[in-house]
Amino acid sequence: MIKRDPSRFLQLGFLALLFLCVLQAAWWISDNIRLTRDIEEVQALAGDSEIEAELAELSEGRVNRYLWEGAFFLVVLIGGMAVLTRTLRHDTELRRRQQNFLAAVSHEFKSPLASMQLAAETLVLRSGDADSIRLGQRILEDCERLLRMVDNLLDTTRIEEGRHPIRAEHTVLATAVAAIVDSFGERAARHEIRIEQRVPTDLALPVDREALATMLRNLVDNALKACIAGSGHRIEVAAERVDRRTRITVSDDGLGFPPEESHLMFEKFHRLGDEQTRRTPGTGLGLYIVRRLADLSGADVTAASAGPGQGATLTLSFRDEGAR
């Protein structure tokens, strides 16, 4: 399912409307000319030569006026259509270039990242020297962070352009959650944070696997950052069937947030606190991506916290028709 850009429909609609206007103006001109000629003929039949001459002059003037007015409108309308057609073409070209740019950015960012990651992993795996291993791990951690940021930027652009396809597939939640939790294992261990999973093995959903993985990755990443910044030590990823819905919750005992800010948590670029004194890294896109992907997947997202320093629970709730 690809969502189309509504502004494009608006442009095409406007172009169709202009086309109709052109047809209508042409019809109006020809109709008025015909009407004037008809009147002229009727009055000619009446036979008064003086009135006849006066009317002929009048009618000639009207025809000329209609022609000039009509021609003016037609020129304006055709000019408008030309401008709009050009804009549409330009827009299509811009989209094509943007897509190429995204592919290029993806390649240009990820290739050096892949090279840096390989060099750091080679140090960690083969150097045998404690300092090299420590420094290699530090580079790896920053590589992962950069990669997540690049992925988030690319995901945001794809979603907002309506180019994020959703293909629902039967997905076992326990497997999907375990894969994501595993990928955070080392980072969590470095900060002495335990990630627990409480997902029944028989729970499955028809959901786009890539979208689910992205949502879970961003939720766990958010919890991990909250724990690191708020000295938390425990994250729990749980899933259950409640009221004919399938709910996935990610809870942490980290930073938390003021309850009145819960509605802002999934807003684009929203980040907690003041930018100068902020304790968590990031761009404010992760949870926004979660909300947009949840919308596309037929799920709701909510955030709850008892207050700063008291942890938070973020919930993904898949509506009934999606649950199995």
Partner 1 sequence: MSRPARILVVDDEAHLADGIRENLAAEGHATEVAYDGAQGLRAAESTPFDLAIVDVMLPGIDGVELCSRLRRAGIQTPVLFLTVKGAPEDRIRGFEAGGDDYLTKPFHLQELLLRVAAILRRSRWYEASPDALEFGDNRIDFRTYQARSWDGAAHSLTHKEAMIVQALAERAGEIVTREEILDRVWGYEVFPSTRTIDNFIVRIRKRFERNPEAPLHIHTVRGVGYRFTSEAEASTDV
In the complex, which residues of this chain contact partner 1 (CB under 8 A)?
106-107, 110-115, 117-119, 121-122, 125-126, 143, 147
Q: Do residues 297 and 164 lie in contact, with contact meaning Cβ atoms separated by under 8 Å?
A: no
For partner 1, which is the closer residue by CB, 99 or 262?
A: 99
Neighbours of 123 (CB within 10 A): 20
Q: Do residues 220 and 183 lie in contact, with contact meaning Cβ atoms separated by under 8 Å?
A: no
- Among 314, 304, 116, 155, smallest CA distance to 221 is for 314
- 164 by DSSP, 3-state: which? coil
- Structural Rg of the chain based on CA atoms: 32
In degrees, to the nearest 5, what angle opens at C-alpha 115 toward C-alphas 113 and 118? 105
For partner 1, which is the closer residue by CB, 151 or 253?
A: 151
- Among 196, 197, 199, smallest CA distance to 173 is for 199
For partner 1, which is the closer residue by CB, 137 or 315?
A: 137
For partner 1, which is the closer residue by CB, 133 or 264?
A: 133
Query: To the nearest whole angstrom, how small is the minimum distance from the Cβ of residue 100 to partner 1?
Result: 13
For partner 1, which is the closer residue by CB, 151 or 252?
A: 151
Query: To the nearest whole angstrom, how small is the minimum distance from the Cβ of residue 196 to partner 1?
Result: 24
Query: To the nearest whole angstrom, how small is the minimum distance from the Cβ of residue 200 to partner 1?
Result: 23
Cα–Cα distance measured from residue 145 to residue 190, given in angstroms and rounded to the nearest whole number: 15
For partner 1, which is the closer residue by CB, 42 or 125?
A: 125
Query: To the nearest whole angstrom, how small is the minimum distance from the Cβ of residue 111 to partner 1?
Result: 5
Query: To the nearest whole angstrom, how small is the minimum distance from the Cβ of residue 278 to partner 1?
Result: 27
Query: To the nearest whole angstrom, how small is the minimum distance from the Cβ of residue 107 to partner 1?
Result: 5
Query: To the nearest whole angstrom, how small is the minimum distance from the Cβ of residue 125 to partner 1?
Result: 6
For partner 1, which is the closer residue by CB, 185 or 200?
A: 185
Q: How many CA atoms lie within 13 A of 131 on its CB side?
A: 0
Q: Do residues 106 and 154 lie in contact, with contact meaning Cβ atoms separated by under 8 Å?
A: yes
Q: Which residues pair with 246 in a beta bridge?
A: 241, 318
Query: To the nearest whole angstrom, how small is the minimum distance from the Cβ of residue 32 to partner 1?
Result: 58
For partner 1, which is the closer residue by CB, 135 or 147?
A: 147
Reading the block at residue 33, the tokens are 């000319």
CA distances from 296 to 3, 63, 264 (A): 9, 58, 19
Q: Which residues pair with 242 in a beta bridge?
A: 245
For partner 1, which is the closer residue by CB, 117 or 305?
A: 117
Query: To the nearest whole angstrom, how small is the minimum distance from the Cβ of residue 186 to partner 1?
Result: 11
End-to-end CA gap in the chain = 21
- Among 296, 318, 159, smallest CA distance to 249 is for 318
Cα–Cα distance measured from residue 70 to residue 23, given in angstroms and rounded to the nearest whole number: 12
